Every structure is written in structure tokens, then in C-alpha cells.
Structure 1
Amino acid sequence: MTPAGRLTGFALLTAAIAAITLWGTRESLRSRESPQDVGLRWLKDEYHLDDTTFQRVSTLHREYFQQCDKMCRQIVAADRPLLWRARHQMRKADEIDAQLVKGQAICADCEKAATEHLRQVAALMPPDQGKRFLEDILPSLQQQRREHDRRVSSSIRR
């Protein structure tokens, strides 16, 4: 290999090592915040919450997410006929209907709890910010429900 080739190879190797070191350093220094913490920080900044209000919202949020985690476990544990494999197709129609109703009830309870939580958060905010918060967030919750219903409906037709 020529001296110019060796020098080029050394420069490329040095650049690669520098890039890997930079990436490793940035990753090790990056914040490891939970999605809930990121969301709370955004909420505080977006709706200009003072520290007292923010602490109350944070407490309410933690309590809600304990409830939400419980409901998520119920959803995961639910016997959902639309996800059954062919070997379960021998079940009776009334059993399938009962499971569908039960699953829909769990989802409805989850949506109701989420809506109530959002209203409680808005009530802690100054009135104009609380109103804006609900106008910003509730349509997203409703859109998620419509998307869920569309996916379920699509699964039924298959």
C-alpha cells in the first residue's frame, strides 16, 4: 500500500472512531425520561402551569396512570374473539357476542376514565388554559376511539 493510501485509511479509521465516540457520549448523556415525564414537561410548558399547579397535575397524573395500567392489563387479558385462531372458531355465537360486549365495556371504561382524567387536569388549570387544553386533547382521544372502532370493524369483515 502506498503512503497516500495508508494516510487515507488512517484518516478514515480516525473519523470512524471519532463518530462512534461522539455517538456513545451523546447516548450516555441523554436524558432517560419516561414518556409520562416528557408529556408532563410538555404540558407545563405548553399551558404555562405554575409550580403548584404542575405538582397537583403531576400527582393526579401518577394516580391516573396506576388506574390506566390496571385497565391495560385487563385489555391484554381479555378474551378477544376477533383475535382467535381457526382452532377456536368452534365456539358458539352467543359466547363470541358476550366476549365482544365484555371487550367493548373494558374499552369504554378506559375511555371514560381517560376523559375524566383530562377534565380533572383541565379543572386544575386557569380557566382559559383548561378550556384550550380540552379543545386540544379531547379530539385526539375521540380520534383514537374512531380508529380503534374502524380496526375492529375491519377485523370483523375479514
Structure 2
Amino acid sequence: MSAVRRLAGFICLLALLAGAVLWITRESARPRESYQEIGLRWLRDEYRLDDATFEKVAALHHAYFATCSQMCRQIKEATRPLLMQTRRQPLSTSTKAGLRQQEQKLCDDCELAAKKHLLQVADLMPEEQRQRFLDDMLSTLETQRLQHDLDMSAHTRR
């Protein structure tokens, strides 16, 4: 192989490597959409919302996301002692019952706020999409609650 061919091969390889580095750098520097933004985009597409309706729904969602995040933190804080107990340091029955009751109330409040939010969003939707949205979202909410309750009962029975 001649020196010119080796040099040409090296230059091609170097160009490919530079292109890969450029692509990786651009991808890692690109701002990522939050899960909320992805969900809002899905909502707009799935339920065929016009721009005006979508703006109202997005405003409701952004206000609710703050409430939801706060409630999730409270539930996590209330749940942590129940999940972190060990066999060497078990919680007393009364402590466990009190923590479980507090956690249950927070979950009930969270579920109530979520249902209220879903109803507000549904009220903004076109009639033909409203009931499908409620059927989809309320069943998802119920499934999440059942899964949470199952997870909690499995951890607290230990």
C-alpha cells in the first residue's frame, strides 16, 4: 500500500471520527424535553386539540405539575420510614399504623387533586374527545393507585 493511500485512508478515518465527535457533542448539548412536555405533546396529538385549547390545557397542566411534585415529595417522605425499616430495627405497630394512615391520607389527597385536574382538562376538550380522555386517564389513575397500594402492602408485611 502506497503512502498516498495510507494518508488518504487516515484522513477519511479522521473525518469520520470528527463527524462522530461533532454529532455526540451536539446531541449532548441539545436541551431535552421534560416528561411533562412530552406528555403534553402526546395529549395534543392523541386528542386532536386545537392550538387555543392546547394552550389552556398546558396552562392547567403547568399549574398542576407544581402541586403534583409537592404531593409526590410529601408521599415519598411519609413512605420512606415504612420502606426503610429493617428486621433488626422494626417499627412498632402503632408507629407503623400512624405512618401508614398518614401516607394513605396523602395518597387520597393526591388522587383527589389528580381527578379534579383531569375533570378540568376534560371540560376544555371537544365533546367527542372528552369522555375518551376521562375513560383513559381515570383508568390509568386507578391502575397506578392499585399498584402503589400493592407495593406498599408488600413492603409493610415484611
3-state SS in 2 of match to 1:33: coil
Residue 86 of structure 1 and its aligned partner are, at CA, apart by 4.7
- For the residues of structure 2 that align with 1:141 and 1:23, how far apart are their CA atoms? 38
Contact 1:122 1:130 in 2 (8 A): yes
Q: Which residue of 2 aligns with 1:14?
A: 15
Q: Which residue of 2 aligns with 1:150?
A: 150
Residue 95 of structure 1 aligns with an amino acid whose one-letter code is T
Q: How many residue pairs get matched? A: 156
Q: Which residue of 2 aligns with 1:92?
A: 92
Residue 124 of structure 1 and its aligned partner are, at CA, apart by 0.9
- For the residues of structure 1 that align with 2:65 and 2:10, how far apart are their CA atoms? 54
Describe the superposition over 1:26-78 as per-residue Cα deviations: whole angstroms up to 9, x where unpaired. 444x4533221222122112212122211221121122112112212211322
Contact 1:80 1:100 in 2 (8 A): no
- For the residues of structure 2 that align with 1:26 and 1:81, how far apart are their CA atoms? 41
TM-score, structure 2 as length reference = 0.82
- For the residues of structure 1 that align with 2:81 and 2:123, how far apart are their CA atoms? 36
Q: Which residue of 2 aligns with 1:82?
A: 83
Any unmatched runs of 5+ in structure 1?
none
Contact 1:122 1:133 in 2 (8 A): yes
* CA RMSD of superposed structures (Å): 2.4
3-state SS in 2 of match to 1:80: helix
Q: Which residue of 2 aligns with 1:125?
A: 125
Contact 2:82 2:155 in 1 (8 A): no
Residue 22 of structure 1 and its aligned partner are, at CA, apart by 2.1
- For the residues of structure 2 that align with 1:60 and 1:103, how far apart are their CA atoms? 26
Residue 19 of structure 2 aligns with an amino acid whose one-letter code is A
**Structure 1 stretch 116-125 or stretch 140-149: which is displaced more?**
140-149
| Percent of residue pairs bearing the same amino acid type | 42
TM-score, structure 1 as length reference = 0.82
Is 1:107–2:116 an aligned residue pair? no
Q: Which residue of 1 aligns with 2:135?
A: 135
Contact 2:82 2:156 in 1 (8 A): no
